[in-house]
Amino acid sequence: MDKYDTFAFLQQFPIFKSLTEYEMVPIIDFARTREFKVGEIVFMQDQPISDVYFIQQGKVKIYKTDYYGKEQIVNVLQKNDMFPHQGLFRQGKYPAHAEIIESAKLINIPISSFENFLITHPEISIKMFRVLGEIIMDLQSRLEEKILYNVYDQIIMLLMRLAKKNGEKLDEKHFKITLLLTNRELANMIGSSRETVSRTLTQLKKKHLVHTDPAGHLIVDYDALEEEVFK
């Protein structure tokens, strides 16, 4: 990827959108591109935070593990996502693991270099705070789901969230979830069990709210799911 392509890619992110190519030159100079294979670890939970990553292609699973090694999926990121969002403003350790689940090409920006850049470009800090604000709102919504809704409803809202974020619109109502996630992985995303997810998906299929295509992708009737959970 040449410098102009790097500029064009990074400029689509909210923190860089309003910057000119000239203003981006220092960032492009210290940005690095690297390719990853499936199963590779980008960083591990509790490692010192050193870089922020931007996904040019592929998918990355963000997850935590507890004392017993149980996995809790925090998010599944794909093309045009960045992570960790708080990394540019936080010293300390990575709060979760990042693992490649689909061959990926990532651009990484060293935090130390970016901090030096921010000293002379404080307007970037404002844009980053806006990004963090959006992440906080998402986390608040997920917390509300945990408090206000039962597991059946949480699974439905997870499917709706995946349809919007990782979905391909097929028609006015139906979305194909492009991520191929196991019931275990879906359960880990909301802190439930594989058996509960399996049972819930069976119920939703009987109600014709969800079905699976030949490739194993979940096809969801978004409007019907929304009506089911908010009825």
- Indicate the pTM of the whole model: 0.66
Residue 139: inside a domain: no
User: What is the tally of structural domains in the chain?
Assistant: 2
* Three-state secondary structure readout of 174-217: EEEECCCCCHHHHHHHHCCCHHHHHHHHHHHHHCCCEEECCCCC
Tokens matching residue 54: 């931007």
For 92, the token pair is 């300390």
- The residue segments making up the domain with residue 203 are 146-230
pLDDT digits (tens, 9 = 90+) for 47-92: 999 999 999 999 999 999 888 778 888 888 888 888 987 656 667 8
Domain harbouring 206, CATH code: 1.10.10.10
Any idea which of 18-32, 38-52, 82-96, 174-188 has the lowest mean pLDDT?
82-96
Same domain, 102 and 152: no
CATH number at residue 122: 2.60.120.10
* Residue 162 or 22, more confident: 162
Q: Are residues 116 and 168 in the same domain?
A: no
Please indicate, yes or no, if residue 156 is contained in any of the structural domains: yes
Task: Report whether 128 contacts 88 (CB < 8 A).
Answer: yes
Residues 186 and 74 in one domain: no
pLDDT at 195: 92
* Residue that terminates a domain, selected from 97, 129, 161: 129
Decide which of 98, 129, 160 is a domain's last residue.
Answer: 129
Res. 101 pLDDT band, cuts 50 70 90? very high
Q: Within this chain, do residues 42 and 119 fall inside the same structural domain, yes or no?
A: yes
Per-chain mean pLDDT for the chain: 86
Closest listed residue to residue 179, CA positions, set 190, 170, 168, 171: 168
Q: What pLDDT, on a 0 to 100 scale, did the predictor assign at position 44?
A: 94
179 Cβ contact partners less than 8 Å away, ≥ 6 residues apart: 59, 76, 78, 162, 166
Beta-ladder partners of 98: 43, 62
- Give the model's pLDDT for residue 88: 60
pLDDT of residue 176: 94
Residue 21 lies in a domain: yes
For residue 135, being part of any structural domain is answered with no
137-151, pLDDT tens digit by residue?
Answer: 777 777 777 777 788
Same domain, 187 and 117: no
Would you state the structure tokens that stand for residue 214, as one six-digit string? 């030949």
- The reply to whether 137 falls in a domain is no
